[in-house]
Structure 1
């Protein structure tokens, strides 16, 4: 069996195990429900209000009301229109003046239909709405942070569990240690990317039914397109470190303490992008730092602040860093995987990887 076949075999096993995990399935379902609620429900709720019924005599006012999609009931005169309002047969009436008659509340849709609106010329039609300018960077940062934390922790737990049960000793007897690591990272990356792709697809469909701006998809397209390679490389970089964390400890309870440096390295960029997204110079710097570029660069692309060459350079820096971190993670993983005499120090795993090939 070739190395590629072995990696694929290990990755397929990781994927099968996770797809049977109820926690994973429930969390994915919750994510999908949140996306549906955020994109579809506002539009449905806004569209659920029935148009006001209006009584009016034939004329320009009645025509304007009908053109606005209101339920217009034609009457002979103003007295008949007022009578229908008092009897509760219609919500409002338009009489000479013109004046709008209603019982308790002014019907806003009727008033808007009769209002003369001046023509509007947008000088910057491609400008990003302030709310979207905040939400989109937050969404990129949140998705990358939560996904990397969740799946990275699962990779570490899987490795520690195999150490506890000593299954790993059987595995490395037939599979090279680095091939085993590669399979776990590939499996975790496929699962993470698959979950994000599913959520993104549901979000795109939801936007079609929601009340989002008409140009939202065209604005998001380039940012999402670049987010995909940034996400994959960034996740691989962190997944290798999470695998090293899992190999350093022998008990599930010790993962939290051992993974603190990795968690801090993930949390700082997350909060930096959220808090400093209005600071253009800082965001430009964050878009080149490997730990923050997976979220900062797509956010700058969405805002239209990044030149065409910038994401290429940033992605190249991230790729080089990811390759380096994979080598670091692999060395620590290899040097601590078979040590079962307590938590292994990182320096020890780095220095004594050859000695760690034997159990104990």
Structure 2
């Protein structure tokens, strides 16, 4: 009697199907480097976290709301009523006609009243926002109880122009002749004066976004290191994969999340800006924004590695404040330096890592930067990041498995492998 040989599904190692992920679903995961597995774990655990998603959504709504409010303010017309007695009716009419030329967001309507008592009654009854009347040495704008900012500015400008015109006509000349040579314009030795205001505002946004991302993600990275160390889970992980792979995965995972979040904020900001009166600046901001992303990436990797080191030096959550203090001070220096530095100090700081991560993008925004300056600054920042990663990897690897108390930098550097 013949017997059938049992069929087996075992594949030879030289069989191409053995390397096909469709026939071996777990094959690609087992062949992945450990740092990539840690990176995926960091990204997936955070990107599915409700607090992370809600925080990101809140910031998006905040940015969109801020831009929308400013756009609405720019388009909103402030309608004001100006009471005028017979002795000021002509001047009030001139203000009504010239108001759009002074401020196109202010519309003035004249309310003619018979006398002073009627004007004061109109103010008290909120029928008028101001009352214009002549005095011995000029004109006076009276309001009920508070300064009428937009109306006051329009009234001052129109009255001044009207009085100058009348005085010039009395002496046989014109206002233009009287004001010839008195115009003052502004210019900059570096950059484009037309973009100065927008560049300053966007520069502040760049500095704030870098500081916010580095602080939030850095603290979360350090806290996760402490939690794993305090629960002794890190000892199990370290027995399975090299510690340097664990560090690389954590840094790259948090960097990817920070960049994704940053891109969302920047896209929302630029799209929102395109719906405002500053939409003509959006194309000019694209280049500086790309440079900022590059500087952000290099600077964040360096700081993320230092945050991981701060977490590895602590044995308890309470120790993090002490181990992260130098890093927090460095970030404050970067924040205030990025906001306050100007002139020669700003130029020098734009080449000094890690401050250059926020200062150079601001210089690029202002204009007047030579083509080689951002490349040199980015190269120096990348070199700083590489040195930081090398030093941080050694400190992290030697401090991570030490328990029983806070580890000093000297102890971590000199500890045995």
TM over 0.5: yes
CA distance in 1 between counterparts of 2:282 and 2:48 reads: 34
Shift of 1:265: 1.1
Question: Pairwise mapping of residues 1-360 of structure 1 onto structure 2 (< 5 A)?
Answer: 5-47=33-75, 49=77, 126-211=192-277, 213-276=278-341, 278=342, 280-354=343-417
4+ residue runs over 4 A deviation: 1-4, 48-52, 122-126
Aligned to 1:101: none
In 2, Cα distance between equivalents of 1:3 and 1:180: 16
Alpha-carbon offset, residue 2 of structure 1: 7.9
* Partner Cα distance (2:381, 2:62) in 1: 30
**Within 2, Cα distance between the matches of 1:3 and 1:336?**
29
Worse-superposed segment, 28-37 or 194-203: 28-37
| Worse overlay, 266-275 or 19-28 | 19-28
- Residue 274 of structure 2 contacts residue 282 of structure 2 at CA under 8 Å; is this kept in 1? no
In structure 2, list runs of 5 or more residues that go unmatched.
Answer: 1-28, 81-99, 105-147, 159-184
Structure with larger Rg: 2
Aligned residues: 302
RMSD: 3.4
Check the 8 A contact 1:160/1:246 in 2, yes or no. yes
Residue segments in structure 1 that go unaligned for 5+ positions in a row: 53-64, 69-104, 113-121, 355-360
User: In the alignment, is the contact (CA less than 8 A) between 1:332 and 1:353 conserved in 2?
Assistant: no
Please identify, of 35-44 and 199-208, the stretch whose mean Cα deviation from structure 2 is larger: 35-44
Give how far 1:306 is off.
Answer: 1.3
Give me the whole-angstrom Cα distance separating, in 2, the residues matched to 1:254 and 1:282: 36
Larger displacement relative to structure 2 (321-330 or 125-134)? 125-134
3-state SS of the aligned residue for 1:210?
coil
Q: Does the 8 Å contact 2:192/2:366 carry over to 1?
A: no
Contact 1:336/1:353, CA 8 A, preserved across alignment: no
Q: TM-score, normalised by structure 2?
A: 0.65
TM-score, normalised on structure 1? 0.75
Deviations for 1:179-199, whole angstroms, at most 9, x for unmatched residues? 000000000000000000001
C-alpha separation between the residues in 1 aligned to 2:416 and 2:58? 41
Measured against aligned partners, the alpha-carbon deviations of 1:305-346 in whole angstroms (never above 9, x if no partner) come to 311000111111111110000011111100111111111111
Deviation of the 1:51 alpha carbon: 10
Distance 2:355 2:30 in 1: 36
Whole-Å Cα distance in 1 between the matches of residues 31 and 329 of structure 2?
A: 34
Separation (CA, whole Å) in 2 of partners of 1:318 and 1:130: 26
